[in-house]
């Protein structure tokens, strides 16, 4: 697990490191500059002719220190001081004085007509909260238009560290060296499009600075796959859980197939598909491993659904069921009567969008997995708003309805009510394909059925889904990836895990 911080958290941890651990700010700046220059060397960036643009805050102070070190290493370095009318930070003043003492020169006008191999942005940093306008906007636009590689100090100027929004205009980096911890704004769209490759550099601010205020957002890593314990040799299919998949409608058997097959790929022992009679023959042929319980497409008999629900350890409801009265009746029955964890996806969410108070009825753990369009229908917020407030929207929905909200986007946010929020960092563009969401629901549902705690199964399922997409993309290509390829990628990932697994895993999510 790794932590991802916003601007307020980073400023707090920086202050605590200085005040409580007695680390001088100048030492932190020196370490930041050293790690930045080392990253440039490691990334083989041409620093022979470098322009460093420095603001008036601590980010600019880092820039002066970087310029000095590059100059002392024999590079030709120009420093441009960004225009400012406000106060200059103490750290900035010190680093500027040191730079000048070593013979550095500071430009006060933009270097027209000069050619640089590298342009370094040290204008704003993570504390920016206002829109970039006027002289600053003009400066950043001119920096973007210059030839040479572009590197940002901590975060690209003009990008919100809290949500990745572009605050008016922003520097376009091909490399960002961020300090201590990843920033939310470097990962979320559109900020990630301005960050380029992101390298996290250690400067001496450690998790010791968290105190009782851990970062609100974290991301899973491969080490967290230890949640998937090695399978016991003395076991049977019932040992690994029973999942009921309520999915499909006439002409929409694919959603049920993909969801159920993914659940099996996740390790679930038994999968039962509750689907219209028209799908029985198709599913029995496509997935003979699944148990099929078929109902009349006009109305699902209540006793039949109740019996299927009582059989299950976990329920997935919604993929491809449609929004007919019969489908809506099934969704309401599941929400009101389920005694096991439930995952609601796709059409179940479209049904609920007409009356979101239904989400207040369950007496069991509930996971919802909307994409941005479905979330827009659930909340009334525009897709654009949700995309620009991904984490906040997921957190607010999770708390309002006491559900685990998996809000799907390029970097999916999984919000646990009044607890950790997980931002997914696995995956690729190939996952944007029909049926991908059905596969994700099956993976999460399968993990839940195996007894993994719901608050762990949801983010872990999202991470596995992304890793499966990476494996499928490497084997097949992202452009031609299908949902079935994601399933195959899942099998590859778990096969690799089993090869390295020598003992049962332990809980990797705190």
Please give the annotated binding residues, written as ranges.
58-62, 121, 125-131, 136, 154, 157, 255, 320, 371, 437-438
Known binding site for K(+): residues? 59, 121, 157
Sign of the torsion formed by the C-alpha atoms of 489, 492, 498 and 499: negative
Q: What is the Rg, in whole angstroms, of the alpha carbon atoms belonging to the chain?
A: 26
Cα-based distances in Å from 435 to 174, 204, 441: 33, 45, 10
**Residue 237 and residue 509: Cα distance in Å, rounded?**
26
DSSP string, 459-490: HHHHHHHHHHHHHHHHHH-STT--HHHHHHHH
Known binding site for (6S)-NADPHX: residues? 58-62, 125-131, 136, 154, 255, 320, 371, 438
State the residue for tokens 């899973």: 220
Q: 174: Cβ–Cβ under 8 A, 6 or more apart, which residues?
A: 149, 150, 151, 196, 197
**Residue 404 and residue 417: Cα distance in Å, rounded?**
7
**Token digits of residue 1:** 């697990």
**Residue 409 and residue 372: Cα distance in Å, rounded?**
7
Sign of the torsion formed by the C-alpha atoms of 441, 447, 453 and 457: negative
- DSSP β-bridge partners for residue 273: 245, 292
CB 289 within 8 A of CB 232: no
Q: Which DSSP letter does residue 296 get?
A: B
Sign of the torsion formed by the C-alpha atoms of 395, 397, 402 and 405: negative
Known binding site for AMP: residues? 437
**Residue 68 and residue 51: Cα distance in Å, rounded?**
12
Q: 441: Cβ–Cβ under 8 A, 6 or more apart, which residues?
A: 259, 262, 316, 318, 319, 343, 345, 346, 369
- CA-closest candidate to residue 435, choices 253, 291, 293: 253
Is omega for the bond preceding 281 within 30 degrees of 0, making it cis?
no
Q: Please classify residue 12 by burial: count the beta carbons closer than 10 Å to its beta carbon, then call 0-12 exposed, 13-18 middle and 19+ buried.
A: middle
């Amino acid at each position: 697990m790794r932590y991802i911080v916003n601007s307020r958290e980073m400023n707090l941890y920086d202050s605590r490191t200085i005040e409580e651990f007695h680390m001088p700010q100048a030492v932190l700046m020196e370490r930041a500059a050293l790690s930045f220059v080392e990253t440039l060397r490691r990334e083989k960036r041409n620093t022979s002719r470098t322009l460093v643009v420095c603001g008036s805050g601590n980010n600019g102070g880092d820039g002066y220190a970087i310029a000095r070190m590059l100059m002392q290493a024999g590079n030709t370095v120009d420093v441009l001081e960004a225009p400012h009318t406000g106060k200059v930070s103490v750290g900035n003043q010190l680093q500027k004085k040191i730079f000048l003492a070593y013979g550095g020169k500071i430009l006060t006008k933009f270097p027209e007509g000069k050619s640089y191999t590298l342009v370094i942005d040290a204008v704003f940093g993570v504390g920016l909260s206002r829109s970039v306008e006027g002289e600053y906007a003009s400066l950043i636009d001119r920096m973007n238009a210059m030839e040479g590689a572009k590197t940002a100090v901590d975060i690209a100027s003009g990008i919100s560290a809290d949500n990745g929004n572009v605050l008016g205009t922003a520097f376009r980096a091909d490399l960002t060296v961020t300090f201590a911890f990843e920033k939310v704004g470097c990962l979320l769209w559109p900020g990630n499009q301005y960050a380029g490759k992101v390298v996290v550099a250690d400067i001496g601010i450690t998790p010791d600075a968290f105190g009782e205020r851990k970062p609100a957002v974290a991301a899973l890593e491969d080490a967290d796959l230890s949640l998937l314990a090695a399978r016991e040799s003395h076991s049977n299919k019932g040992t690994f859980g029973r999942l009921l998949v309520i999915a499909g409608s006439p002409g929409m058997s694919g959603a049920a197939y993909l969801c159920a097959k993914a659940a099996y790929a996740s390790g679930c022992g038994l999968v039962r598909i509750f689907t219209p009679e028209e799908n029985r023959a198709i599913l029995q042929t496509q997935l003979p491993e699944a148990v099929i319980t078929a109902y009349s497409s006009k109305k699902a008999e209540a006793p039949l659904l109740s019996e299927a629900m009582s059989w299950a350890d976990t329920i997935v409801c919604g993929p491809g069921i449609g929004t007919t009265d019969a489908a809506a009746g099934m969704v309401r029955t599941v929400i009101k009567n389920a005694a096991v964890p439930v995952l609601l996806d796709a059409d179940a969410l479209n049904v609920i969008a007409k009356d979101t108070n239904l989400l207040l009825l369950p007496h069991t753990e509930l996971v919802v997995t909307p994409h941005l369009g479905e979330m827009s229908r659930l909340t009334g917020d525009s897709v654009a708003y949700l995309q620009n407030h991904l984490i906040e929207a997921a957190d607010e929905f999770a708390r309002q309805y006491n559900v685990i909200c998996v809000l799907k986007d390029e970097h999916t946010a999984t919000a646990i009510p009044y607890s950790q929020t997980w931002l997914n960092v696995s995956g690729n563009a190939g996952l944007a394909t029909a049926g991908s969401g059905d596969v994700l629901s099956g993976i999460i549902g399968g993990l839940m059925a195996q007894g993994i705690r719901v608050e762990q199964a949801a983010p872990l399922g999202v991470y596995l889904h992304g890793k499966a997409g990476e494996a499928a993309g490497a084997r097949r290509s992202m452009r031609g990836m299908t949902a079935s390829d994601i399933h195959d990628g899942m099998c590859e990932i778990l096969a690799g895990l089993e090869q390295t697994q020598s003992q049962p895993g332990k809980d990797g999510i705190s």
